[in-house]
Structure 1
Amino acid sequence: MKTISVVVPCYNEEESIELYYEAMNKVKTENNKFNLEYWFVDDGSHDRTYQVLRDLQKKHSDEVHYISFSRNFGKESALYAGLNEVTGEYTAVMDVDLQDPPEMLVKMFDMLESDEDDYDCIGTARMDREGENPIISFFSNSFYGVINKMSQTKIIPGARDYRLMTRQMVNAILSMTEYNRFSKGIFSWVGFKTKYLPYKNRERVAGTTSWNFWKLLKYAITGIVDFTERPLMFATWMGSAFSIASVIAIIAIIIRKIINPTSSVNGWSSMVTLILLIGGIQLLSIGILGEYIGKIFLEVKKRPIYIIKEKK
């Protein structure tokens, strides 16, 4: 019987962990198609997540393992840490709040085992965002449209991290050791034949999400900077356009002065507006450049993606 290694990032999820384990164990028992190996990653939680994971590991030491970080490094680091430890033939990535339906794991396993389509990965994508903040939903949907137009790495709208992958695909992901990580883009960039299964959005079983608008915005910016250079091209285009416009304006002023030497200079309001507009474009361009330089700065320092305090 093959083993599925499940990577489960946890940040302040003390209420969800045991509920998640019970739901997963039920799926495994009812279907009896695979064994499960759990790798819970405590991402520097401030509640009792660490204690709950220790207790769970003591009860089920044959299948439950955990990693505890020295501080909060973020979900992307937690995913990478878990993937570094898995030993199963297949690897699943899931959230512990049960918004990722455990029962779908059976169909995902069957599809990878099938010789008909020869898939390397079965992913999931939400059909709707029912119950989610409408503002966050709007910007999330807009993000997928923007990044798919700007980047050659295409991301399925509504795609979740929840997926089941072959060992070969996991090894490819681990070979990407970049510090600034955007898993949705990495999963797509490495290639491999992938099938996405749609499902309806689910509410959390317990606790509250640690994601807010600003964290999601920062995450979206990371995705855009990591997988496209178009913003830099945009800054170049804007700079070129305003340079050409200024040359034309200078020529027009010279011609007007030659034709009518006594003409007076009018339109101070419009001139100030143009100065502010051009200044704003310059600051925007510098900001875009700064984002890329900041990412380069973090990469060249070669700091570890995460630091483990305890592992069992």
Structure 2
Amino acid sequence: MKYSVVIPVYRNAESIPRLVEALIGMNRALDGEMEAVFVVDGSPDQSFALLREHIERLDFPAQLLAHSRNFGSFPAIRTGLQAARGSFFGVMAADLQEPPELLVAFFRALAADECDVAIGTRNARNDPASSRLASSLFWGMYRKLVVPDMPPGGVDVFGCNTVFRDQLLALDESRSSLIALIFWLGFRRKLVGYERLVRQEGKSAWTLSKKIDYMMDSIFAFTDYPIRLLMRIGALGSAASLGVALMVAVARLVGAISVPGYAATMLAVLVLGALNLLGLDLVGTYAWRAYENSKQRPLAVVAMRVANRVG
């Protein structure tokens, strides 16, 4: 086999028949040199059972791995990349919102040695207006705070060669961002534009809370912006406090203040107390993440592995 397609699966039972058909078409387009690697990430539905039935009917190699619980889509991608046996690797979503033709374009560019990593960039998306607005805000913040050269539409899928895959898997950071790691590694990149399709089955598990957690992971793993922002706030607060202190001292000397002000004292205590709590929280977050990485726990645990007869 020459090409390995990694598909993380979570709550995708309804889209599996269409996913399998799409993979069959991809294998034909790739001259029968493809394998599929499904990673069921603790999905509570029937995704694993359905995939187990379908892979036995495939005429190309397929692996089915199941995590012991839900570890997240990025650990699932890493698990699939570790298990994949091809020379070139591509990642696609099980909901088929990214067209299968996009991965074929990745593989052709990689096989022609045009790049080490091919990245899908959204030129447009057929999603509701609220979803498009939320995505624009999310990736806009991501570009500003984490990866300045991130494409405006964001990144969900990519393909790479063996050298890039090996370097990516060597970065076993806990609570990090796989997408940011791809850009951090560098290498020769090729951006491939596409139009994101409408989700036809089920509901996305990529909720607002998960997006916020992902943004926090990306920020704390790749930038010291929160610390620098706190330093600026502290510097401005110190300058303002010094100015107010001088004003109070002068007013006291000229007799303009006869009784200390209760309101001013309370405001100073509350503002400084809030800044102290914010500073402790930010420093504690960085320290906790460093501690998490020092444990060296596996990023995911594979509980079951199945391969079809062709594989």
The two structures have a TM-score, normalised by structure 2, of 0.89
Task: Output the CA distance in 2 between the equivalents of 1:8 and 1:32.
Answer: 17
2:99 maps to: 101
Task: Output the CA distance in 1 between the equivalents of 2:146 and 2:204.
Answer: 29
Query: In the alignment, is the contact (CA less than 8 A) between 2:34 and 2:60 conserved in 1?
Result: no
Aligned-pair RMSD on alpha carbons?
Answer: 2.3
The alignment status of 1:204 with 2:199, answered yes or no, reads yes
Task: Output the CA distance in 2 between the equivalents of 1:60 and 1:126.
Answer: 31
Query: In the alignment, is the contact (CA less than 8 A) between 1:6 and 1:94 conserved in 2?
Result: yes
1:128 maps to: 124
Query: In the alignment, is the contact (CA less than 8 A) between 1:127 and 1:158 conserved in 2?
Result: yes
Task: Output the CA distance in 2 between the equivalents of 1:281 and 1:250.
Answer: 18
Task: Output the CA distance in 2 between the equivalents of 1:231 and 1:200.
Answer: 34
Query: In the alignment, is the contact (CA less than 8 A) between 2:119 and 2:158 conserved in 1?
Result: yes
Structure 1 position 222, deviation (Å): 0.8
Structure 1 position 40, deviation (Å): 0.4
Structure 1 position 213, deviation (Å): 0.9
Counterpart secondary structure, 1:95? coil
Distance change (3 Å), C-alpha of 1:62 and 1:200: closer
Task: Output the CA distance in 1 between the equivalents of 2:133 and 2:213.
Answer: 16
1:60 maps to: 58
Counterpart secondary structure, 2:7? strand
Task: Output the CA distance in 2 between the equivalents of 1:267 and 1:254.
Answer: 13
Q: Bigger CA drift: 38-47 or 243-252?
A: 243-252
Counterpart secondary structure, 1:123? strand
Query: In the alignment, is the contact (CA less than 8 A) between 2:121 and 2:191 conserved in 1?
Result: yes
Counterpart secondary structure, 1:181? coil
* Aligned partner letter, 2:6: V
Task: Output the CA distance in 2 between the equivalents of 1:34 and 1:237.
Answer: 58
Query: In the alignment, is the contact (CA less than 8 A) between 2:98 and 2:195 conserved in 1?
Result: no
1:286 maps to: 280
* Aligned partner letter, 1:21: V
* Aligned partner letter, 1:126: R
Structure 1 position 126, deviation (Å): 1.4
The alignment status of 1:92 with 2:86, answered yes or no, reads no
* Aligned partner letter, 1:279: G
**Mapping of 1:172-187 within 5 angstroms?**
172-187=167-182
Task: Output the CA distance in 2 between the equivalents of 1:34 and 1:276.
Answer: 67
2:47 maps to: 49
Counterpart secondary structure, 2:100? coil
**Mapping of 1:123-202 within 5 angstroms?**
123-132=119-128, 134=130, 136-151=131-146, 154-202=149-197
